[in-house]
Amino acid sequence: MSVTEKLLALHRVDQKLTGLKSRLRQAEAYLRQQDTILSEIQKTHASLTSQVRQLEATVHNDQNEINAFDDRIAKLRERMQTASSSKEHSALLTEMNTIKADRGLIETRAVEALEQLDALKAKLAEIDAQRLEREKVRGVAAQDRDKRHTDIAEKVSELEAERERVLTEVPPSAITAYNELLELGLDDVMATVEEQDRRNKEYSCGACYTHLPVEQLNILMNRGDLTKCPTCGVILYLEQDLFDSITSDAEKKRKRRTMETLD
């Protein structure tokens, strides 16, 4: 087996693994999306809760102030009943009117705050409902992720074991080259050589479709050493059919030449 063939065996296993895990990856991405949405909802929830608490405290303080005004008004009323002169009565009345005006301002503020509080509480209830709903969706997404994980677990561990076996066959320098391409995040780290025109020796890279120098085809045809596309850098390989067909053509040519020499 040539280095290229060994790498191809590794690549085939990796392709199977990627294919097998693709539905799991989708489920994981969906779950992450739900987590993001849920965390946004929770942030809004926390902010609304803190606004509600502040406003409740304001309303409570206003209520205390109003109660204090009411006490003072009740006391002034008592004093007015026992006022010894009309001058004292009139002074007490002025004081009471001032207090009533102040009380009115606080009451208006408290009513507004209460209205605001009702609106905030309604919004909070809405967010609560959204949170519950989203938690359900997240729960289903997590179950789905787990199920997909379980479904493929056995096959994945089989393939991983196979990968380990295949890996022991590949020379370390080729593994390094292969891993470097994997780390670049390429979809396919290996690509076939595609034949455009055999007579004119025109071949191209199956990944970037760029014309390949004939030397690279020769390396793959002969020793099968690690060969990269000079343009996009993927590791090249020949499909067995193409390899066989080129070999048999070359064989025919060789025979024809022998015959011609014999004539």
Distance CA 101, CA 94 (A): 11
Among 8, 48, 127, 207, binds Zn ion (CB under 5 A): 207
Interaction of residue 186 with Zn ion, rule CB under 5 A = no
Among 229, 235, 238, 242, binds Zn ion (CB under 5 A): 229
Distance CA 130, CA 147 (A): 26
To the nearest whole angstrom, how small is the minimum distance from the Cβ of residue 23 to Zn ion? 29
Q: What is the DSSP string of 19-43?
A: HHHHHHHHHHHHHHHHHHHHHHHHH
Interaction of residue 190 with Zn ion, rule CB under 5 A = no
Question: Which lies closer to Zn ion via its Cβ, residue 124 or residue 186?
Answer: 186
Among candidate residues 53, 58, 45, 92, the one with its CA nearest the CA of residue 73 = 92
To the nearest whole angstrom, how small is the minimum distance from the Cβ of residue 207 to Zn ion? 5
Among 55, 181, 205, 238, binds Zn ion (CB under 5 A): 205
Does residue 178 contact residue 216 with C-beta atoms inside 8 Å?
no
To the nearest whole angstrom, how small is the minimum distance from the Cβ of residue 202 to Zn ion? 15
Interaction of residue 208 with Zn ion, rule CB under 5 A = yes
Interaction of residue 44 with Zn ion, rule CB under 5 A = no
Q: Give the interface segment with Zn ion, choosing from 49-57, 152-160, 223-231, 244-252 (CB under 5 A).
A: 223-231
Question: Which lies closer to Zn ion via its Cβ, residue 113 or residue 178?
Answer: 178
Cβ count within 10 A of residue 7: 25
Placement of tokens 């990796």 in the chain: 14
Distance CA 66, CA 110 (A): 9
| Ordered strands of the 202-205 beta sheet | 211-212, 202-205, 190-197, 235-237
Among 17, 20, 124, 232, binds Zn ion (CB under 5 A): 232
To the nearest whole angstrom, how small is the minimum distance from the Cβ of residue 183 to Zn ion? 18
Does residue 253 contact residue 261 with C-beta atoms inside 8 Å?
no
Give Cα separations from 132 to 38, 119, 176 (angstroms): 10, 20, 49
Interaction of residue 216 with Zn ion, rule CB under 5 A = no
Interaction of residue 184 with Zn ion, rule CB under 5 A = no
Per-residue interface string for the shown chain with Zn ion, residues 86-125, x marking contact by CB under 5 A: ----------------------------------------
Question: Which lies closer to Zn ion via its Cβ, residue 127 or residue 207?
Answer: 207
Interaction of residue 235 with Zn ion, rule CB under 5 A = no
Question: Which lies closer to Zn ion via its Cβ, residue 166 or residue 207?
Answer: 207
To the nearest whole angstrom, how small is the minimum distance from the Cβ of residue 241 to Zn ion? 20
Interaction of residue 181 with Zn ion, rule CB under 5 A = no
Question: Which lies closer to Zn ion via its Cβ, residue 3 or residue 189?
Answer: 189
Residues binding Zn ion (CB under 5 A): 205, 207-208, 229, 231-232
